[in-house]
């Protein structure tokens, strides 16, 4: 299969659905809706929603029906970027090649745009889906809230802040990233498998696949901060070194980090062994995680 085409097709599917589901830029309050659209519709790999669709495909379902839920996942991811970029947090000026939300608008608007997207994620995720029981959907909504919050992404972000300017070891670093970036990627795979009608075994296996690619994704992020081109990436690079931040390359060296990422991809692929060719997009996505340049 042609992964580039697969990604383009699905990014465009998600982009169109997001634009249609969001309030228009002229709807009041205009400034809020424009800030939301600025951050949400300004590019982005759409990795998490695509993982939901691809995991659902791997266990066999109609993908159109899951688009609202998948868009909710992207809203969650984008809110986390908006808040992480705030002056009190990472203080970043550039994101996805455009000014960050608080730079383009202002801090108060960026805080509210993040809050609005986080809330809207649950509005989208809790919409009835034809052919999926309310019990199953409710379980997925609860999973989303769990993995995005204290026990997942937000908890990981707090741990990451607390770890700044001090040396952490590899075990602690993995613990932080298992929550900060890992939880939502794993959650996307688990929810996709669940909403796609997978068996408990399939859900568990795709969750493990998600955990492995999530770690590989973070390692690659750290590597790109050292070796990447800020023009291609659309955000600042070299920030980890400036902030004296412990990262996989700083703890293991560039080669060591590349090796660990590859190990995780192999692990992810091994989780897919029992799946048919319907999981081919997941196989290619796993390889893409470490090969990406942004």
Q: How far is the CB of 11 from its own copies (least distance, A)?
A: 24
Closer to its own copies at the Cβ: 164 or 229? Answer: 164
SS3 assignment, position 181 = coil
Q: Is 73 in the site for its own copies (CB under 8 A)?
A: no
Report the C-alpha gap between 8 and 2 in whole angstroms: 10
Q: How far is CA 115 from CA 41, 62, 144, 202, in A?
A: 17, 31, 16, 33
Binding part of the chain for its own copies, among 6-14, 55-63, 132-140, 220-228 by CB under 8 A, reads 132-140
Report the C-alpha gap between 182 and 152 in whole angstroms: 8
Binding residue (CB under 8 A) for its own copies from 118, 206, 211, 216: 118
Asked whether the CA dihedral 49, 51, 54, 59 is positive or negative, the reply is negative
- x/- mask, its own copies, residues 141-180, rule CB under 8 A, reads xx-xxx-xxxx--xx-xxx-xx------------------
Q: How far is CA 275 from CA 39, 176, 179, in A?
A: 36, 30, 27
Q: Is 41 in the site for its own copies (CB under 8 A)?
A: no
Q: How far is the CB of 152 from its own copies (least distance, A)?
A: 8
Q: Is 123 in the site for its own copies (CB under 8 A)?
A: yes
Cβ–Cβ under 8 Å, residues 58 and 206: yes
SS3 assignment, position 95 = strand
Binding residue (CB under 8 A) for its own copies from 1, 4, 8, 138: 138
Report the C-alpha gap between 277 and 212 in whole angstroms: 20
Residues that bind its own copies (CB under 8 A): 23, 28-29, 31-33, 36, 79, 83, 86, 88-89, 106-109, 111-112, 114-116, 118-123, 126-128, 133-135, 137-138, 141-142, 144-146, 148-151, 154-155, 157-159, 161-162
């Amino acid at each position: 299969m042609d992964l580039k085409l697969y990604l383009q097709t699905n990014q465009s599917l998600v982009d169109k659905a997001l634009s249609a589901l969001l309030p228009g830029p002229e709807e009041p309050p205009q400034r809020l809706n424009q800030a939301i659209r600025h951050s949400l519709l300004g590019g982005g790999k759409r990795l998490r929603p695509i993982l939901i669709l691809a995991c659902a495909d791997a266990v066999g379902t109609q993908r159109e029906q899951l688009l609202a839920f998948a868009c909710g996942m992207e809203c969650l991811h984008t809110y986390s970027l908006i808040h992480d970029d705030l002056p009190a947090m990472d203080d970043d000026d550039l994101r996805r090649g455009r000014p960050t939300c608080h730079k383009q608008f202002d801090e108060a608007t960026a805080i509210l745009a993040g809050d609005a997207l986080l809330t809207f994620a649950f509005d989208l995720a809790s919409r009835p889906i034809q052919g999926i029981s309310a019990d199953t959907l409710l379980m997925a909504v609860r999973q989303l809230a769990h993995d995005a919050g204290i026990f997942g992404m937000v908890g990981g972000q707090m741990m990451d802040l607390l770890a700044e300017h001090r040396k952490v070891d590899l075990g602690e670093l993995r613990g932080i990233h298992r929550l900060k970036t890992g939880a939502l990627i794993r959650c996307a795979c688990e929810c996709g498998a669940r909403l796609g009608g997978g068996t408990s075994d399939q859900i568990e296996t795709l969750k493990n696949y998600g955990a492995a690619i999530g770690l590989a994704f973070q390692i690659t992020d750290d590597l790109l901060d050292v070796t990447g081109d800020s023009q291609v990436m659309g955000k600042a690079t070299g920030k980890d070194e400036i902030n004296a931040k412990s990262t996989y390359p700083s703890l293991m060296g560039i080669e060591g980090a590349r090796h660990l990422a590859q190990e995780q991809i192999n692990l992810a692929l091994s989780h897919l062994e029992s799946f048919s060719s319907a999981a081919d997009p997941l196989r290619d996505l796993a390889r893409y995680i470490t090969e990406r340049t942004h």
